[in-house]
Structure 1
């Protein structure tokens, strides 16, 4: 699907002059996947993304690219001429990047921002315009709001938008025995996802400890709940090596800390739905996302299923939890000889897969 706000952003990017004395920043996330322009190779433009697959595509297109959790700390105050930003899904991410735009732009520099009406874009533009001391300059083109905002005020850390302490990892699930860290910007960052909790319940009840798995892959790990919760189960006590993988830079950083925090032996790998991982495992746990940015993307489930089949040992087991409307059984049938629904509670279903 064509993302109209991103189309507007890339049109503005195409107008960047070939002036090596200027510095530009493009902050982008999963919305840019498969929509990166091919003709923008200006070395003065840095693409900053928190998505591994977008970073890999941007590098392949010849962009100067950094992959991290939108960490702008290396960018000096008042140093950028323009920042380009298509608003993100998570409010703390948006507020974090708008705050950084205020800090990093030169006096008179510009923030070019766009998003759909139903994403809160108009409100975001109004908030950052006030901080920058700029006219709102809001343009509406169908469902898209966009604006070019100038910076005319001095950065003041006391007036920043509330980003929920975006950079700060903090304990969650304090009412449980789990030692879990998380942070804003991640899906369901400040709670235990009910679908993932249902998977752990089924793992504890149905997984045969006699199989004595030695390795586990948490596919699309997020902050690592499935790994940390599974590590505390008696029927997973034989697991000696835990692997966690995700496409999101924030998830990877927190997952690493959760491994250390719980003294587990394992590794955290940046990958797109497990792409590039080769080591096979005895157990795969997965709560696959079904959104690509703001849009539902059924192909994501297919990618996670294909990786589970490729990475599962012959006698291994994969457990998936998905929203009730995702036809995972049908999608899995051509790939696995065993497809068994362990539970369907009307909201989520947990499905056991075997080769």
Structure 2
């Protein structure tokens, strides 16, 4: 692997794709699942969802924005709002809308929907995310956002949970029907027949119920941290075994400047802040993780920190660190993405001070040791188990 792979990851591309009967200019990049494709769920929603040019529409799950372009082109008076929990998806959507000369779309982070007040929509479209609990969160938000008589269209892959998602939607809406199937995907239509939200047990679950958080405590060495988290965040309701292993051997130099990459709800960086770091920056591309990290920092009264939203280390391109810690994001959708891993390691090397250290935990089947050795010129395995290993590389002075 070489520098070209990292440059390929960082490069934003523009290309044309057909959607139903028209061409859409798409802007996208690696790091977004299926970044160069039009999803079958997008094709189903474009083909089978019916709406009027004056409708107000809310789209959950923007992908790279092709569906947003298709909908916006058909709205003469109505307003389109788009939301996602993925920063990269929303940024690519902004760029895709721009190259298609569409300027009237409102883009929201998932967490911001709680602040929308009395905004209501005639139709809501959902391209289901990864994880049933996050899908359920979106379903609750969709029902609350719809006008009485409004329509929900929901689509996705069978092996990503669309059948369970449709079942959950029917529990809330008390109606629904399948409209079509395509390449292992399906689309369903449901109508909001009452302003009263049906209350299956899961609808009241913390993190799914509007305005609520998943709360739990993590005890590390001699200190406990209170965590606030949300479905969709990695290991959102517990400390995962890999991170626990990483923190068990992490030594924080007093006054060190530390970066937590792919921070999730923030426990790695909070550990560093509590154990002597002078300053900690937190980065994630998941907007729910960013919200959870900010909440967790606040409730633990940690102030020597900044939380940044972005794609890998892009927000700290000009900064330098003494220590970079990560339980890195090696998945893009369902598959392991080594391009993301290499880009993260190369960017980490660039961001370290001389004699600075990067320490990560990973599944043993991922050959991070070879990547770190290639980029840093050295690699150490600090601890390992049957599932994980903790690896470290030092930037030579």
By the TM > 0.5 criterion, same fold? yes
Q: 2:149 & 2:372 partners in 1: Cα distance?
A: 54
Task: Decide which of 297, 306, 309 is 1:270's aligned counterpart.
Answer: 309
**Match in the other structure for 2:9:** none
Relative to structure 1, the CA distance from residue 230 to residue 331 in structure 2 (aligned partners, 3 Å threshold; closer, same or farther) is: same
Q: Which runs of 5+ in 2 are unaligned?
A: 1-32, 98-104
Q: 2:234 aligns with which of 176, 187, 193?
A: 187
How much has 1:40 moved relative to structure 2? 5.3
Kindly report which structure 2 residues correspond to 1:165-314, keeping only aligned pairs within 5 A, or say none.
165-166=206-207, 167-173=211-217, 177-185=223-231, 186-204=233-251, 209=253, 212=254, 214-233=256-275, 237=276, 239-260=277-298, 261-277=300-316, 278-314=318-354
CA contact (8 A) 1:316 1:354 kept: yes
User: What does residue 45 of structure 1 align with?
Assistant: 80
1:11 positional shift: 4.8
| Alignment equivalent of 1:102, drawn from 143, 146, 150 | 143
Q: State the distance in 2 between where 1:5 and 1:253 align.
A: 29
148 and 296 in structure 1: CA distance in 2 versus 1, 3 angstrom threshold: farther
How far the C-alpha of 1:344 sits from its partner, in A, is 2.2
State the 1:184 CA deviation: 2.7
Tell whether the 8 Å contact from 1:252 to 1:270 is kept in structure 2 after alignment. Answer: yes
Q: Distance in 1 between matches of 2:290 and 2:355?
A: 29
TM-score by length of 2: 0.77
- Cα RMSD for the two superposed structures: 2.9
Q: Deviations over 1:266-322 (max 9, x none)?
A: 100001112131211111001112222333322221222122112111121110111
CA contact 1:319–1:353 (8 Å) conserved in 2: yes
Alignment pair present for 1:315 and 2:355: yes
Among 355, 364, 370, the residue aligned to 1:330:
370
How many Å separate the matches in 2 of 1:303 and 1:164?
A: 37
Cα contact 1:10–1:37 (8 A) shared by 2: no
Judged with a 3 Å threshold, the aligned counterparts in structure 2 of structure 1 residues 58 and 255 are, in CA distance, closer, same or farther, namely same
Change in CA separation of 1:75 and 1:81 when aligned onto 2, cut-off 3 Å: farther
Partner of 1:22 in structure 2?
Answer: 55
The reply to whether residue 132 of structure 1 matches residue 173 of structure 2 is: yes
Post-superposition shift, 1:18? 9.3
Structure 1 spans left out of the alignment, 5+ residues? none
| TM-score for the superposition, normalised by structure 1 | 0.85
- Number of residue pairs aligned between Structure 1 and Structure 2: 343
8 A Cα contact 2:60 2:125, kept in partner: yes
Provide closer, same or farther for how the CA distance between residues 45 and 19 of structure 1 changes in structure 2, counting only shifts above 3 A: same
